[in-house]
């Protein structure tokens, strides 16, 4: 149990039969009346954000989130398969559970599977990946004055905006949180 007076950013709590992560919190002491804690909570299962106020003495159970390193094996159209490299146990997740978190992840790469009480709710890809550009238009000399970019399709099928000097066949480094080009490899 954690009291509202001890809330911090990133703490996960169980509230109203859901699991929430605290995005923002603010201790408010008005001139009149009792102090309270104003929070922004993100539902970790569906991604919704709600605002809620708590009395500082209110207590909520803390939610334990398990993050397991697993290897992404393959996709058979409906399901995505992952394997625990220590125990060789396999887990199959649906497209709804995955979302678009695997758009920069190749087969056989390591990802983090996040779960609460055995219920998987998200997949965290590595922060940075190196992928090959499979399709892009050639850049023209003299077009670089404005720092222009062009769309490029990488080997996973995702589209990334890259500088004009990047050509087909180049390996590039991508930030998976933002989907932005970082550098050539």
Write the CATH number for 132. Answer: 2.40.50.140
C-alpha 30/C-alpha 19 separation (Å) is: 29
- Please check whether residues 120 and 135 belong to one and the same domain: no
pLDDT at 142 over 70: no
Domain boundary among 41, 60, 79: 60
pLDDT at 95 over 90: no
Instruction: Copy the structure tokens of residue 44.
Output: 């970790």
Mean predicted confidence (pLDDT) in 69-91: 90
Helix (H) or strand (E) holding 95: helix 95-98
Let me know: does 48 contact 69? Beta carbons within 8 Å.
no
Domain boundary among 124, 148, 165: 124
C-alpha 94/C-alpha 101 separation (Å) is: 12
Whole-number pLDDT of residue 178: 87
Give the mean pLDDT of the chain: 87
Condensed to tens digits (0 to 9), the pLDDT of residues 44-64 reads 877 789 999 999 889 999 988
Tell me the whole-structure pTM to 2 decimals: 0.72
pLDDT at 118 over 70: yes
Query: Domain limits at 81?
Result: 66-124
């Amino acid at each position: 149990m954690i009291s509202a007076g001890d809330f911090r950013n990133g703490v996960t709590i169980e509230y109203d039969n859901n699991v929430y992560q605290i995005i923002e919190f603010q201790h408010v002491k008005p001139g009149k009346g009792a102090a309270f804690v104003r929070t922004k909570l993100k539902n970790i299962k569906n991604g919704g954000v709600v605002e809620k106020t708590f009395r500082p003495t209110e207590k909520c159970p803390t939610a334990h989130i398990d993050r397991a390193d697993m290897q992404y094996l393959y996709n058979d159209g409906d399901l995505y398969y992952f394997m625990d490299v220590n125990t060789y146990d396999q887990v199959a997740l649906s497209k709804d559970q995955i979302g678009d978190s695997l758009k920069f992840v190749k087969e056989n790469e390591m990802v983090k599977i996040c779960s609460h009480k055995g219920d998987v709710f998200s997949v965290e890809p590595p922060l940075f990946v190196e992928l090959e550009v499979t399709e892009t238009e050639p850049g023209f000399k003299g077009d670089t004055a404005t720092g222009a970019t062009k769309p490029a399709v990488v080997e996973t099928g995702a589209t990334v905006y890259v500088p004009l000097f990047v050509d087909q066949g180049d390996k590039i480094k991508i930030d998976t949180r933002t989907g932005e080009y970082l550098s050539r490899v």
